[in-house]
A and B are shown apart, each in its own frame.
Chain A
């Protein structure tokens, strides 16, 4: 009976060895996983971090070859210059006005349409959904030539209306689709109770649905604002004097004091951070809701 006891001890040591190897493997896998995750996070952030760093470099430092990883010493001049140059602050002002008008306009028109699609039974609903979808896929370039001729006729070139109006083509579908998903997720009971209590549809919508959907409306507003803040094709085409530039055009057209001078990379980088940081922060603060809003339409169909 000696043999079994020998095998049993060796089995125990075997077991222990296997167990140790397993935990080692698990630890290795976990480390590997975190290395992968860290690499991915760096991949996402590094280009933006580099832009911030460039914003702190003097122009001489930017053009040094090979480039230095850190600015020494860091300078504030680019940021100061951007925030005090009218051509840049003016662009921010233009973009704020245009994007908020487009957002509000889309919300006004889109929210009632989305509510109707989500809650009310009427014939032709699929057709409406199809139209909204078709417009979402419209290439802006395929409507730009008649719009340009029309706006020239109406003397709307360099007028904010020339950007607010066509922005409907890309903000309205986002608005209708995202809000539709939000409205459908609201509990039906409250609306029914309101109806029983004698509220009309319009009253129900204004007093019950809108307050309940406020987070959804807010998320949608952020998405719409970002979409029109980032618009470039129309802005570049319909705005051709420096006073009328939006932020995207201002960043793309950034040039030195005169044509011969080198690209002012420091100022461009600082400007790029200034015009995007508010949006990035907004997105990060409300990330849960925004991700839900972005993907809801896609997943629920």
Chain B
């Protein structure tokens, strides 16, 4: 026990270790005992399966032909996918497009909303409550809802837009290659902007008011105060929000699966949806696991980039849900 403690101890603690009293040492042992169940659960349900996914990705496995023996593929699945699989490339592009467009829209909208509701006004409670509605709704329900709203003939989106004279003929929003991705991004922005706004609002409330007063005395305009005070101080919150959302897009499954089934064709097929299909439609568990590993690596790279390079205080990356 003592030696394992020492290997994982940060340097500061290691130096102090020899001066720990007997009571402090029993205390540390108690502290470690309390985390054991959680770490065990995480090891068995998350890390062990992850290691197995890596292992499976090295084989040719097709569950459709249960009796054919698996053959070792080495890194063959990876080279096939990364170099030759057009559907994989398409999924990457789709996911990338969603990330760029969705995140830009959410950040700008979320910021405007957060700035607007970061003050006392009548009805603020109602606004805060309504912000929570899209967040609280199940993604599957959101997908079904928007599927109905976007329907070409009887959807209310067409009715509303033509009543407002924005369109003159009904459009097949989710059945058309031109609109499907945009329609899906619209639903995604609707669902997630409130969460981004709430995060940014919480960050805004931590900025001391004196700073704005000081800026005003120095003759700064509201606009300058926003660029010079609000944005720099909000940077950690913005980075966390971006990190959550990037990861959520990389593992986006429910919305494309239920709203568009990735269609038409593969126009809205995200990387996670493609992985799912490789596993459970094509039943190619080797190639599917390789795709799962690639998805994992993408998420890992995003997190490392945000935390190590941009210095995001990654603490709260737990809140987003999927």
Contact = CB atoms under 8 A, between A and B. Distances in A.
A120 B30 contact: yes
A159 interface: no
A287 B129 contact: yes
B316 A298 contact: yes
* Centre residue among B41, B236, B318 by max chain A CB count within 10 A: B318
Interface stretch (B97-105, B171-179, B210-218, B292-300): B292-300
Contacts of B199: 294-295, 298-299
A252 B156 CA distance: 20
* Centre residue among A36, A67, A121, A141 by max chain B CB count within 10 A: A141
Given A45-B130, A116-B35, A123-B6, A135 B317 contact: no
B292 A145 contact: yes
Contacts of A13: none
A230 B140 contact: yes
A284 B31 contact: no
A52 to B, nearest CB: 10
B139 A139 contact: no
B144 A123 contact: no
Nearest to B10: A126
A3 B160 CA distance: 63
A142 B132 contact: no
B279 A144 contact: yes
Interface in B247-293: 247, 250-251, 253-254, 257-258, 272, 275-276, 279-280, 285, 288-289, 292-293
A16 interface: no
B49 A146 contact: yes
Given A138-B46, A276-B137, A300-B315, A110 B237 contact: no
Given A141-B295, A226-B321, A276 B27 contact: no
Interface stretch (A71-79, A166-174, A210-218): A166-174
Contacts of B140: 230, 232, 248, 251-252
B155 A67 contact: yes
A108 B37 CA distance: 9
Contacts of A168: 41-42, 45-46
B231 interface: no
A122 B32 contact: yes
A116 B41 CA distance: 16
Interface in A84-139: 108-110, 112-113, 115-117, 120-128, 131-139
Contacts of B251: 139-141
Interface stretch (A4-12, A20-28, A57-65, A185-193): A57-65
Contacts, number: 334
Interface stretch (B50-58, B71-79, B81-89, B222-230): B50-58
* Centre residue among B17, B133, B135, B198 by max chain A CB count within 10 A: B133
Contact of B299 (A50, A137, A229, A299): A137
Contacts of A276: 136-138, 141
Given A123-B6, A123-B17, A233-B253, 11 more contacts: A40-B116, A44-B194, A113-B39, A139-B251, A226-B321, A227-B321, A272-B141, A272-B144, A284-B133, A295-B198, A297-B317
The 9 tightest CB contacts between A and B, nearest first, are: A298-B316, A120-B31, A123-B9, A297-B316, A146-B52, A124-B8, A122-B31, A295-B202, A116-B34
Interface of A: 33, 36-37, 40-41, 43-45, 47-48, 50-51, 54, 62-67, 69, 108-110, 112-113, 115-117, 120-128, 131-150, 165-166, 168-170, 172-174, 176-178, 201-202, 223, 226-227, 229-233, 236-237, 247-248, 251-252, 254, 265, 268-269, 272, 275-276, 279-280, 283-284, 287, 290-291, 294-301
Interface of B: 5-6, 8-10, 13-14, 17, 24, 27-32, 34-35, 37-39, 41-42, 45-46, 48-50, 52-53, 56, 113, 116-117, 121, 123, 126-146, 148-149, 153-156, 158-159, 162, 170, 190, 194-195, 198-199, 202-203, 206, 236-237, 240-241, 244, 247, 250-251, 253-254, 257-258, 272, 275-276, 279-280, 285, 288-289, 292-293, 295-296, 299-300, 303, 313-319, 321-322
